[in-house]
Amino acid sequence: MHNHEDIAHRLKITEGHLRGIQRMVADDAYCVDIIRQIQAVQASLNKISSKILEGHLNSCLITAVRGDDPAEREKVLLEIQQVFDTAAKI
């Protein structure tokens, strides 16, 4: 993964937002405001996931597809399929 610093930074920001939601719940904030903040955290995590997947596709997947090991190609392609299957269930 090429963007370790960017990913780590985004995760720290998301963690801060999540802690803010915990404070909102503890302070009995308005429910809709809490839900909006939860949606913002979910969107942030989706963006982070997309960036990680993009890095994986541009490195590990390409390496496996260009490689000589058919088992490795199948393994990497199956992993990608499983990621999308899991995302579809959420």
CA–CA distances in Å: residue 66 to residues 8, 38, 58, 61, 73: 29, 40, 12, 9, 8
What are the structural domain ranges in the chain? 4-89
Per-residue pLDDT at 5: 94
Q: How distant is the alpha carbon of residue 67 from its chain centre?
A: 27
Give the ranges where the chain is alpha helix by DSSP (H).
4-26, 31-56, 62-66, 70-89
Q: Are 45 and 53 in contact (CB under 8 A)?
A: no
CATH class for the domain made up of 4-89: mainly alpha
Both tokens of residue 75? Answer: 């393994």
Report residue 88 as tokens.
Answer: 């579809």
Burial of 38 from C-beta contacts in 10 A (0-12 / 13-18 / 19+): middle
pLDDT, residue 60, reads 87
Query: Going residue by residue through the chain (90 aa), what tens digit of pLDDT does each one get?
Result: 458 999 999 999 999 999 999 999 999 999 999 999 999 999 999 999 999 999 999 998 899 889 999 999 899 989 989 988 888 887
pLDDT score of 1: 47
